[in-house]
Amino acid sequence: MMRTTARQRVRTRRTLATGAVTLTAALALAACGGGTTPEEVAGGGGAPEGAGEFTGEYDGPDVELSYWNGFTGGDGPFMQDLVDQFNEEHPNITVVPNTIQWADFYQRVPAAVNAGEGPDVGVMHLDQLATNAARSVIVPLDDVAEALEISEDDFSEEVWNAGIYDDQRYGIPLDVHSLAMFYNTEHFEAAGITEPPTDSESFMAALDALQAAGYQQPFWMPARWPGHLMFLSLLWQNGGEPYAEDGSEATFGSAEGVEALEWMRGIVDAGYSPSDVAQDSQYVAFKNGETSITWDGIWQINDLEASGLPYALAPIPAIFDEQLMWANSHQFFMTKQATQDENKYEAARVFIAWMSEQSADWAGAAMIPARESIREDAVAGMPQEPIANLLDNVRFLPPVPGIGTVQTETLEQAVANAILGQEEPQAALESAEERATELMEENLESFGG
């Protein structure tokens, strides 16, 4: 009985975008078997007509939403507070959060959604949206964006466009988080540096001043994370692009890229960094006051605050032509699973809308709220304020399905090899670029149809 009603609903709901319609009966069956309780089935008959009209309110029967995210760090408690607050304000919607490390998140979500045991709504990084859209794990949210009256005006162009894949919107932005330059204020004081460096000249001068003040290795160069993010920032600064927008080829091995990677390796050769900086050790060294400057994500702010280290942060200096920096964004998504139950679908829309509006509180998690109307007040006086004013200078990876894996399989290893001195930057980038293009061509083929 439930099976037929679910299928009819799917069929009748014209407002739902194409992704949902491709659902197989088997999946509907699985979802009904696993995700819906008898009470919901019984109450399901009284669902409001015309799901297309979105009022921001949900007055249907009690419904439970499974909400997955990867906020395992200092951002976790802030998200939990928001969820608690939402549950309190919406007695007929119960949001059940499930927090999974980001590293495992992108592996589990497609599997779980395919099995009908996954989330209804969730948050993912924008560079993963295209991949999951192409795999039809997530569904378009154009109608939600429209109904929420959130539009380009309230977001910087970069952030807003980043959620679009194949002319459809798949993500509603929650925040932006970028790479930033963290520095030890005590070391800077001792070295007589009054202003954080903003360009190549002042940055190198600062490194020399720090060395003169006795900080022999002021800028540790990590081979792994976030080394490739530093490389991407420098590549963009130098006028290069890592990947073709249409996903047809990798271009990070360009002359601009080689120059960027040579600069990074040069920091080691010049003795500003020890060699062989393994994963995380540059951050631990910074926290212990062993090194003076580190480039890392603004999500580290809460951890550094808790450590009591005298630090401050500034935008990444313009080592090359333009002051640009790598960034990513957390975006809300809805899975095809939620679209199989009208009530869940409605409730999910209410949840996403509400969360998007509350994103001011999210600034406490050391992120930059995506909405412009909120941002300025939200970050005033917060450590991430200097970055928040430079949102036009952030760059995202293009929305190409499968780009995440391409990057870990190629670019990250080339950067590691070059910084460790195992390969010349040019040779490392060239072979990685070749392999990346190969992978991207394969991806185009698998996702193309």
Partner 1 sequence: MSQTRVAAPGDTVDAVRRDQRASRRGVAKHGKVTPWLFLLPYLVLFIGFVLLPIVLGLWISLHRWDYTLPGKPFVGLENYQDLFDSGSGIYSIFWNSMKATGIFTVASVPLLLVLPLLVALVMNRKFPGRNLFRAVYFAPYVLGVAVVGVLWRYLLDANIGLVNHYLGALGLPGDTAWLTSTPAVWVALVGVTVWWTMGYNSVIYLAALQDIPKELYEAARVDGASRWQQFVNVTFPGLRPVLAFITMITIIASANMFGQSYLMTQGGPGRETRTAIYQIAETGLRNFSMGDAAAMSYVLTAFLMVLSVLVFWLFRERRS
Side-chain half-sphere exposure of 379, counting CA atoms within 13 A = 25
Closest Cα to residue 250, out of 366, 405, 73? 405
Q: Which residues bind partner 1 (CB under 8 A)?
A: 22, 106-107, 110-111, 114, 135-137, 220, 223-224, 274-281, 284-285, 288, 290, 402, 405, 408-409, 413, 416-417, 420, 422-423, 435, 438-439, 442, 446-447, 449
Cβ proximity to partner 1: between 347 and 418 the closer is 418
Alpha carbons 194 and 300: distance in angstroms, whole number: 23
Q: How far is the CB of 288 from partner 1 (least distance, A)?
A: 8
Strand 175-184 relative to strand 325-328: parallel, antiparallel, unpaired? antiparallel
Distance in Å, CB of 417 to partner 1, minimum: 4
Nearer to partner 1, 340 or 417 (CB): 417
Q: Which is nearer to partner 1, 147 or 427 (CB)?
A: 427
Name the residue nearer to partner 1 (CB basis): 81 or 438: 438
Residue whose structure tokens are 């185009």? 444
CB nearer to partner 1: pick between 132 and 393: 132
267-275, long-range: CB < 8 A, 24+ apart:
267/219, 267/221, 268/221, 268/419, 268/421, 271/216, 271/217, 272/207, 272/211, 272/217, 272/218, 272/219, 272/221, 273/217, 273/219, 273/220, 273/221, 274/217, 274/220, 275/420, 275/421
Q: Which is nearer to partner 1, 197 or 227 (CB)?
A: 227
Q: How far is the CB of 300 from partner 1 (least distance, A)?
A: 17
Measured from the CB atom, is 12 or 422 closer to partner 1? 422
- Taking the least distance from each CB to partner 1, the nearer of 106 and 263 is 106
Sheet arrangement for strand 121-125? 93-99, 63-69, 121-125, 330-334, 172-173
CB of 194 to partner 1, least distance (A): 29
- Least distance in Å: CB of 415 to partner 1? 10
Question: Least separation, in Å, of the C-beta of 434 and partner 1?
Answer: 9
CB of 276 to partner 1, least distance (A): 4
Which of 326, 404, 313 is closest to 366 using CA atoms?
313
Tokens (6 digits) for 352: 């996403």
Q: Residue 122 Cβ, how far from partner 1 at the closest point, in Å? A: 16
Contacts of 288 (CB under 8 A, 6+ apart): none
The candidate with the shortest Cα–Cα distance to 209, out of 287, 292, 286, is: 292
Report how far residue 63's alpha carbon sits from residue 195's, in angstroms, rounded to the nearest whole number.
Answer: 54
